[in-house]
């Protein structure tokens, strides 16, 4: 069996593991090492991805390694939920390893390349395609089809957002979507209307310019560097961020996006470039909508409670401008099973339990996003007492009625596509390049990032 090492290997209940992995050179070496994985897996994985343990003794002792990122609060909740599973299946125990987000994927790459991958691991849409394409992840489709992995209460677009090249590479462990958060206290103070779902991009910019004029606070953060906003806008144009194994947009699309926001800056709808940069690089606790430097910020809707912790003002949230059907039920993160594990069926059953068991759901709450199982989500939302979380749940539930089909999971290189957009957009924001020139450079960088 494959196990994720903990700081002290003799202590399987170790709760916290931090490793200082950093640097682009090391990252490249780690990813290059993954090339050897398909060969290793040929020997490690017997037969198909489906249940190879059907005839095994259901009472035999099993220890599963599980690896996730998060803070201490998430660790405690996850450990408590896993303890529930062990209570119901006394023969199954867990070697639990977790760490902060920073360095997590470097560590996962090291473990996987070294043949010591966790049986179950947390992953996000930046890396799911990469790991699936290298045959690291178990194809869960047969488990879904047989009902051993019950996704029947998941929104279809949510579980589909774990499919890579026809294989179900991960189970969505929480739902999220894009949210335009606005400062309601500021707007009420000046008797200004709030932005609305369905407002066009041009109308949103005009609304923001009026806020700037009346309230003397820039109406909206400039999202030209925000891949979430660019992605939604592309889908509203009949395009997408990715199409099959290529980019789903053109240089001209990027130039049009940059030009739209160049016009917004000229109209006074946004902050100045130095403040826009501040919003581009700060964490959620310092977004411009809570620091008082803009009337809106472009975030994930489930970040509302965290934003609210950092301001005394009342906040509201709506969909991004344009047709809201361009938004989708995005997996906040996934749990995947290592294809080479000796205990496929048990690992899948653990994920099924964490996703669908009411007791486990009560323990896990909304820490990883809105529960994917809609029945579980309703029960959890009814029990939530925090007003900000209730608001976030209500907004996401309402937006969920307007969602369109999910896009394909991002290609390998997605994190580079995201970071290069910030660089290119800021070249335009600071006037160092025209929208066309910045778009050309960005498109080339994206092509290189995905290996096109």
- The structure's pTM equals 0.84
- Kindly state whether residue 315 falls inside one of the protein's structural domains: yes
Q: Which two tokens stand for residue 118?
A: 């966790």
Among positive and negative, which fits the CA dihedral 376, 156, 317, 100? Answer: positive
Name the band, by pLDDT with cuts 50, 70 and 90, for residue 304: confident
CA trace torsion 114, 116, 120, 124 (10° rounding): -20
Name the band, by pLDDT with cuts 50, 70 and 90, for residue 263: very high
Name the band, by pLDDT with cuts 50, 70 and 90, for residue 49: low
- Kindly state whether residue 11 falls inside one of the protein's structural domains: no
- Kindly state whether residue 279 falls inside one of the protein's structural domains: yes
Q: Is the pLDDT of residue 34 over 70?
A: no
| Domain that residue 114 falls in | 24-175+332-400
Query: Residue 242 is inside which H or E element, if any?
Result: strand 242-243
State the total domains in the chain: 2
- Beta strands at 178-183 and 175-176: parallel, antiparallel or unpaired: unpaired
- Kindly state whether residue 407 falls inside one of the protein's structural domains: no
Does 64 lie in the same domain as 199? no
CA trace torsion 205, 210, 215, 221 (10° rounding): 10
Does 88 lie in the same domain as 154? yes
CA atoms within 13 A on the CB side of 285: 2
Please tell me the predicted confidence (pLDDT) of residue 50.
52
Does 295 lie in the same domain as 337? no
- Kindly state whether residue 107 falls inside one of the protein's structural domains: yes
Q: Is the pLDDT of residue 289 over 90?
A: yes
Does 431 lie in the same domain as 291? yes
Does 47 lie in the same domain as 69? yes
Does 313 lie in the same domain as 234? yes
Mean per-residue pLDDT, 387-393? 79
> Alpha carbon of 112 to those of 47, 108, 212, 349: distances in Å?
20, 6, 51, 22
Q: Which two tokens stand for residue 235?
A: 């889908």
Does 183 lie in the same domain as 171? no
Does 378 lie in the same domain as 264? no
Residue-wise pLDDT for 162-195, tens only, equals 999 999 999 999 999 999 999 999 999 999 999 9
- Kindly state whether residue 223 falls inside one of the protein's structural domains: yes
Does 160 lie in the same domain as 104? yes
**Is the Cβ–Cβ distance between 314 and 181 less than 8 Å?**
no
CATH number of the domain at 316, please. Answer: 3.40.190.10
Does 238 lie in the same domain as 128? no
């Amino acid at each position: 069996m494959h196990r994720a090492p903990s700081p002290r290997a003799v202590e399987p209940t170790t709760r916290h593991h931090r490793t200082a992995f950093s640097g682009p050179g090391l990252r490249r070496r780690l990813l290059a090492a993954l090339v050897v994985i398909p060969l290793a897996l040929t020997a490690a994985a017997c037969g198909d991805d489906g249940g190879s343990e059907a005839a095994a003794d259901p009472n035999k002792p099993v220890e599963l390694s599980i690896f996730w990122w998060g803070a201490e609060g998430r660790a405690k909740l996850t450990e408590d939920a896993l303890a529930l599973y062990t209570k119901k299946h006394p023969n199954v125990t867990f070697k639990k390893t977790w760490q902060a987000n920073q360095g997590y994927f470097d560590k996962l790459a090291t473990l996987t390349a070294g043949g010591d991958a966790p049986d179950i691991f947390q992953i996000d849409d930046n890396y799911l395609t990469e790991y699936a394409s290298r045959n690291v992840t178990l194809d869960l489709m047969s488990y879904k089809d047989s009902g051993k992995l019950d996704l029947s209460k998941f929104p279809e677009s949510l579980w589909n957002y774990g499919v890579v090249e026809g294989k179900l590479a991960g189970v969505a462990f929480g739902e999220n979507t894009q949210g335009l958060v606005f400062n309601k206290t500021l707007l009420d103070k000046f008797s200004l209307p709030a932005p609305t779902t369905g407002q066009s991009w041009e109308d949103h910019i005009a609304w923001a310019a009026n806020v700037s004029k009346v309230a003397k606070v820039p109406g909206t953060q400039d999202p030209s560097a925000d891949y979430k906003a660019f992605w939604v806008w592309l889908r509203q144009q009949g395009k997408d961020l990715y199409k099959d194994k290529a980019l789903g947009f053109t240089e001209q699309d990027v130039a049009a996006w940059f030009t739209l926001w160049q016009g917004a800056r000229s109209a006074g709808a946004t902050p100045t470039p130095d403040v826009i940069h501040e919003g581009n690089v700060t964490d959620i606790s310092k977004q411009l909508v809570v620091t008082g430097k803009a009337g809106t910020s472009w975030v994930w809707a489930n970040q509302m409670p965290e934003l609210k912790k950092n301001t005394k003002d009342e906040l509201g949230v709506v969909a991004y401008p344009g047709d809201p059907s361009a938004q989708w039920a995005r997996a906040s993160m996934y749990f995947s099973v290592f294809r080479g594990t000796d205990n496929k069926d048990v690992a899948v059953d653990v994920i099924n339990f964490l996703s669908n068991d009411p007791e486990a759901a009560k323990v896990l709450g909304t820490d990883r996003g809105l529960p994917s199982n809609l029945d579980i989500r309703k029960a959890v939302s009814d029990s939530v007492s925090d007003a900000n979380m209730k608001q976030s749940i209500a907004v996401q539930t309402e937006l969920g009625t307007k969602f369109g089909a999910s896009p394909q999971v991002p290609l390998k290189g997605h994190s580079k596509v995201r970071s290069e957009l910030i660089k290119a957009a800021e070249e335009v924001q600071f006037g160092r390049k025209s929208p066309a020139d910045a778009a050309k450079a960005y498109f080339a960088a994206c092509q290189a990032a995905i290996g096109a």
